[in-house]
Structure 1
Amino acid sequence: MNKLSVLLLFLGTFCVLQAQNKSLGNISKQKTIASAPATTQDSTAIRRETSQSGTNKPSDKNLKANIKDYLIISQNRDTTYVDTTLTIQKEYKFNYLRKDNFGLLRFSNLGQTYNSLTYNFGNTSLMPGFGARAKHFNYTEISDVNYYRVPTPLTELFFKTAFEQGQLADSFFTINTSPQLNFSVEYKGLRSLGKYQNILASTGNFTFTTNYQTKNKKYNMRGHITMQDLLNQENGGIIDDNIDEFENGDPEFLDRSIFEVNFQNAESMLKGKRFHLEHDYKLINKADSLSLNKLSFGHIISFEDKFYQFDQTAADTDYFGEAFVSRVQERATLENFYNQLQLNYSNNIIGDVQFNISHNNYNYGYNKIIVLNGNSITNRLKGNIYAAGAKYNKQYKGFNLNGEAGINFAGNFEGNFIKAQASFNLNNDIAASASLNHSSKAPNYNTLLYHSDYINYNWQNNFSNTQTQQLAFNAKYKKWANITVDYSTITNYVYFKQNETTQQINPFQNSATITYLRAKLENEIKVGKFALNNTIMYQNVQDPNNSLNVPEFNTRNTLYYSNHLFKKALYLQTGLTVNYFTKYYMNAYNPLLAEFYVQNQTQYGDFPLIDFFLNAKIRQARIFFKTEHFNSSFTGYNFYSAPNYPYRDFIIRFGVVWNFFM
């Protein structure tokens, strides 16, 4: 089923439901978490006009829905509402990923990968990941999908300029055809040529969601379909001989298309589709003044089919080593079929308890067989994994207690995790939480098995499970301080680095124990109409094998001015943002694997990235204007996203986010 057929199916369903001519009543209020600051008024509000009888009774013709009725429900069932305000957080999220990308270092072209400046080792997964992690920053996972509940149709249009011959656009529409049934459809598309040779990016993310609830609220269903393709031309970065010309700021090379790159005949693609459904039925829903008892059965079914492909019209033996063929065409595929059955019980004394059992059928590998040194390497990893788990939640004397655990009890991959969290809200201004996470999980599929037309990129490994333990704390007081500290230990860490024998990139396992400390402070200081927003992160890694490298300090500081203008018809924010991280052994990028690998020869960093922005809000439209990295020409050409991959030069970009409420 392609994207067009899915869209036609959606439109057909929509037309049929509309033909039923069901009136959309007022949607009942749910508990919401306000995402808009209290000091900034939103544009959509309830309006009631006096009726002919002189009462203040609302009617269908004169009632406009409250913004808090436009609900956004996350995968974890946390509920917020649509926020059309203009805040500094909206500035941070106005990017390709559409989320705050602090801790990620962008490559020169939009739609490329990101180098990670920080890592989170908290984990609740029992299965290996697919691999090709550098391609997954813009890949929509199950946890990224939101569901909606709206009193009137809602549309959001997003646009932002790209780098030469292209643009980034995101279109979203959702509607409740009745108070019980909602649909949403979204497509985010990008095409950007880039400033360097052979670096074009072309991506598309299609998402369709629906959720339904019977009138008696006993049956609930929600599901989604995603179809994604992420295409990148790969050039391997600028050649070593051009490094001096770049760092010296040679005027002849300010036209970045002049730089010679390592290759001009390669491209990579990550493509995937997923069908996901979760539903539950309440057997007991008894509530009175003394007790609250609920018993329900739940079911989750999910199928995902994805592949990563690398094509090169002529093998580059100087860069990747000897090859079996003259033209490289290789593809790794994964089919994963998942089922989970749940038994949920809730009681006002015990709390909320869930027991579940799940089944994973996986099939990862290649459609060819490699014979290396007379030995045949298997081409598939496939089988079945059976797991059991439990969840717990309880509100007790102001504390919110959460627990979750899971274990694989049958199959080829062992795995287990346990997570416990306690949080406390003293009031709306003060909150604190602590969590403990233990995990044991098999490394990603591409570290266990890899086939390539390049001889030295073929392996079959029997790595031990990576084991992690993380202790985390968070304390928050208004906007004055939001402090997060976590301490992790990692054993049997699997990473990529250069093989000393073949000089190519292979996976390795670090048998030593790594200790990793992170501390992050977020705060905002306001004086009149001026504000200083700060994010400061400190990191410390103790690793005898230097397999995990991060900068010691990573900071983002924004000084900005906000004010209403033209009789409050326009709201303006303008200011400067400075990003900075200290020098460290930055990971290098391998385009064949779509993975970053460890290098301990050259340090990168210690360069500021300064942006000037001017943003405005007019009704439900937010307009963004930015001069990115305007200091690039006078603070030195020593800025890199990865070795041989220069960061972005100065550029002016603009865009808009526009919400429509019908």
Structure 2
Amino acid sequence: MKKNLLVFFCLISVQVFFAQLRTIDGGFARGRGGLNQGRDSLPENEINVKLSGKTKYTDYKIISHKNDTTVVDTTLTIQKEYKFNFLRKDNFELLAFHNQGQTFNNLAYDFTNVSQFPDIGFRAKMFNYAGIEDVNYYHVPTPTSEILYRTGLEQGQVVDALFTTNFSKRFNLAIAYKGLRSLGKYRHSLASTGNFRVSFSYETPKGQYAIRGHVVNQDFFNQESGGLTETSLAAFLNDDPNFSTNRGRMDVILDNAENNLDAKRLYFEHSFKLLSSKDSVTQKDFSNLKLGHSFTRDSKFYRFNQGTATPDVFGNVNVSSGISNKTKYLLYDNQLFLDFNSKYVLGKFRVKTGVTSYTYGYENLQNNTVGITKNKLKGDAVSFGADWNGRIGNFHVNASGSLTPGSGRLSGNQFSGEAFYKKDSVFTVKGRLGISTKSPNFNFLLHQSSYDDYNWENNFSQIGTRSLGGVIDSKWGNASLDITNISNYAYFDENGQPKQFSGDVNYLKAKVSKEFTFGKFALDNTLMYQKVASGESVFRVPEFVTRNTFYYTDEWFKGKPLLVQIGATFKYFSEYKANAYNPLLAEFTLQNDTEIGYPTVDLFFNARVRRTRIYFKADNVSSFVLKKNYFSAPNYPYRDFVIRFGVVWNWFI
């Protein structure tokens, strides 16, 4: 570690030295989290990039799965600070466990993008999972790379590296890997994850044929402690000096359990243009006719291993040796679509049909004493749907719908639509609607284990989700409101058993954010209010969540080679009966004994030298003065005070 620190500071010194000799302000801009992150508006006075020839910063493009295009971003903003975590996302609505690479508890829920089909489940392992929509494609005039490094807890670190290049104007290849290994402060809390991604895109010289796709290989491994024992929990709450400086001395409930999720996916989409606007004399009525096909092969494997069974934790067990349960899931999805533009639909229209098949379950029965005879679920379905993207001036409409008829586990329907009005960069007003009917995830329907209480075979009703919301984004502030109604809500009860709520869950979430600036100082505020009007016995969220960041931004040294950002972030959520974590299920379950809610204060010092962003952060400095009542879930303490650093570095060769 000392050698790593020496190398790090030497590199930073070299950057500062050369930046003073060659004063290039700003960098490639627009975006919120680096080369493969989200977007925001372009900060004023951030762009002053000198590039040779005809190359511009706007030529370095990032293309999302939905074909939204942004450009590479090397600016330093407060949104970058919020995203500097191993997820590389703003986790305002999440409550992290103490070690990075572990799971998150939910402070809020988002139902704006409900998946069309049920998934394997084991949702506590899915926060770091990269879905189809999370893989980006690129178009760059020169080879481009980005590396993120961040220290872990005790032993370990996070590295996220990306390299992309265009072999020609029409063919791009991107290779990326994010690896994490962190020991953690508490016993048996090692986290080790890996996300390997390869994406490509190509089109013929005249654009008649185009193809893009990706290969993703992911694994998420965690040692599972089960949380602190009653004695250790009391020592934590009382701030026992024998354990306050060495959390590894505290006893945990499990010392030989671990779970792992492996996932592999192959995806590609290709299309052939049957008719272009140049080919048709009736182009004003009907043009750009395109026939396409997409293919997805998605496999997931969940394992729970335990060296010695613990009946006092999970109940009766039918084996005397170790536990080794493995759940498999495999999905094939083929979709045909036809795209065209027409003045009669005011934009782009797509009709589509798909054939989907799945297999879920176990190689053989895990427990012969509980009366379950089925070890696999299989099925297939045909779906039909349409997408529409229309525009009239500054008014936009996007809609997507699909129907999967029948009575199988894949049957259901889905509709999502949004209409928004955008006035330059002044403001955007958006309304959105979502309607979905689908089966619960497969682990609600079938689960097998060597533990008797964790075996079930259910025929649950379909979950109906209806959401209505709106968003206002403006230079004066941002606000959003979402109202969601859920029928047949599926959950795990206090004993880890799958259940469905007989009534409706009605959930309201309102969020406002606004930044105030005072010269070189700024105060960034986000406040969220939530209310569960019905169904609060099974659906629980804190009523208030707030985050307030006060920070200072300035350029230091002669020639302004160094942009610094220094500040403090206050976060608070009101007390609520947060869900408990079950490591065998990799799911969160209801509990009625413990309320969690507390404030935290983090300090940070960030800097940018040319195209390098440097991050120093002191997590939870409030732990020195506040009570030791900060938890991520019952029996799982949140992290203590810790100092970490990291760097994000871009190269444009």
TM-score with structure 2 setting the length? 0.91
The answer for the alignment partner of 1:358 in structure 2 is: 354
The answer for the alignment partner of 1:182 in structure 2 is: 172
Deviations 1:537-569 (A, max 9, x none): 000002346100000001111000111111211
Distance 1:577 1:545, change over 3 A: closer
Q: What one-letter code is carried by the residue in structure 1 that aligns with 2:539?
A: L
* 225-234 vs 282-291, greater mean Cα deviation: 282-291
The answer for the alignment partner of 2:323 in structure 1 is: 328
Q: Which of 275, 285, 295 pairs up with 1:301?
A: 295
The answer for the alignment partner of 1:469 in structure 2 is: 466
The answer for the alignment partner of 2:336 in structure 1 is: 341
The answer for the alignment partner of 2:207 in structure 1 is: 217
The answer for the alignment partner of 1:580 in structure 2 is: 572
Q: Is the 8 A contact 2:551 2:567 kept in 1?
A: yes
The answer for the alignment partner of 1:20 in structure 2 is: none
Distance 1:173 1:484, change over 3 A: same
The answer for the alignment partner of 2:560 in structure 1 is: 568
Unaligned runs of 5+ in 1: 1-32, 48-62, 499-503
**Which residues in structure 2 correspond to 1:390-405 (within 5 Å)?**
390-405=386-401
Q: Is the 8 A contact 2:286 2:340 kept in 1?
A: no
**Which residues in structure 2 correspond to 1:11-26 (within 5 Å)?**
none
SS of the aligned residue for 1:395 comes to strand
SS of the aligned residue for 1:376 comes to coil
Give the CA deviation at 1:354.
0.8
Q: Is the 8 A contact 2:419 2:430 kept in 1?
A: yes
Q: Is the 8 A contact 2:318 2:369 kept in 1?
A: no
**Which residues in structure 2 correspond to 1:180-329 (within 5 Å)?**
180-254=170-244, 255-287=246-278, 290=284, 293-326=287-320, 327-329=322-324
Q: Is the 8 A contact 1:355 1:389 kept in 2?
A: yes
The answer for the alignment partner of 1:653 in structure 2 is: 644
Q: Which of 405, 415, 424 pairs up with 1:427?
A: 424
The answer for the alignment partner of 1:620 in structure 2 is: 611
Q: Which of 134, 139, 147 pairs up with 2:124?
A: 134
Structure 2 residue 457 is the aligned partner of structure 1 residue 460: yes
* 242-251 vs 529-538, greater mean Cα deviation: 242-251
Q: Is the 8 A contact 1:36 1:83 kept in 2?
A: no
Unaligned runs of 5+ in 2: 1-37
Structure 2 residue 51 is the aligned partner of structure 1 residue 46: yes
SS of the aligned residue for 1:375 comes to coil
Q: What one-letter code is carried by the residue in structure 1 that aligns with 2:339?
A: N
Q: What one-letter code is carried by the residue in structure 2 that aligns with 1:579?
A: K
Q: Is the 8 A contact 2:325 2:366 kept in 1?
A: no
CA RMSD of aligned residues (A): 1.6
Q: Is the 8 A contact 2:493 2:589 kept in 1?
A: yes
Q: Is the 8 A contact 1:126 1:408 kept in 2?
A: no
The answer for the alignment partner of 2:22 in structure 1 is: none
The list of structure 1 runs, each at least 4 consecutive aligned residues, that deviate by more than 6 angstroms after superposition, is: none
Give the CA deviation at 1:77.
0.7
Q: Which of 541, 544, 565 pairs up with 1:550?
A: 541
Number of residues of Structure 1 aligned to a counterpart in Structure 2 = 608
Q: Is the 8 A contact 1:386 1:411 kept in 2?
A: no
Give the CA deviation at 1:46.
3.5
Q: Which of 481, 491, 504 pairs up with 2:477?
A: 481
Give distance in 2, aligned partners of 1:188 and 1:290. Answer: 47
Give the CA deviation at 1:197.
0.5
Distance 1:170 1:441, change over 3 A: same
Give the CA deviation at 1:65.
2.5
Q: Is the 8 A contact 1:45 1:64 kept in 2?
A: no
Distance 1:544 1:518, change over 3 A: closer
Give the CA deviation at 1:426.
2.4
Q: What one-letter code is carried by the residue in structure 2 that aligns with 1:562?
A: T
Q: Which of 600, 623, 629 pairs up with 2:620?
A: 629
**Which residues in structure 2 correspond to 1:83-94 (within 5 Å)?**
83-94=73-84
Give the CA deviation at 1:64.
6.4
* 287-296 vs 440-449, greater mean Cα deviation: 287-296
Give distance in 2, aligned partners of 1:177 and 1:630. Answer: 49
Q: Which of 507, 510, 515 pairs up with 1:516?
A: 507
Deviations 1:297-337 (A, max 9, x none): 11110101110100000000000001111210001010111
Give the CA deviation at 1:244.
1.7
Q: Is the 8 A contact 1:415 1:440 kept in 2?
A: yes
Q: Is the 8 A contact 2:143 2:166 kept in 1?
A: yes
Q: Is the 8 A contact 1:45 1:67 kept in 2?
A: no
The answer for the alignment partner of 2:63 in structure 1 is: 73
Q: Is the 8 A contact 1:361 1:383 kept in 2?
A: yes
Distance 1:141 1:220, change over 3 A: same
Q: Is the 8 A contact 1:342 1:355 kept in 2?
A: yes
SS of the aligned residue for 2:199 comes to strand
Give the CA deviation at 1:441.
0.8
Q: Is the 8 A contact 1:35 1:81 kept in 2?
A: no
Q: What one-letter code is carried by the residue in structure 1 that aligns with 2:577?
A: Y
Q: Give the % identical residues.
A: 44
Distance 1:621 1:123, change over 3 A: closer
Deviations 1:103-137 (A, max 9, x none): 11110111000001000123443311211100010
Deviations 1:509-528 (A, max 9, x none): 00101110000001111111
Give distance in 2, aligned partners of 1:376 and 1:349. Answer: 56
Give the CA deviation at 1:637.
0.4
Give the CA deviation at 1:277.
0.4
Q: What one-letter code is carried by the residue in structure 2 that aligns with 1:196?
A: Y
Q: Is the 8 A contact 1:108 1:647 kept in 2?
A: yes
Give distance in 2, aligned partners of 1:633 and 1:459. Answer: 46
SS of the aligned residue for 1:92 comes to helix
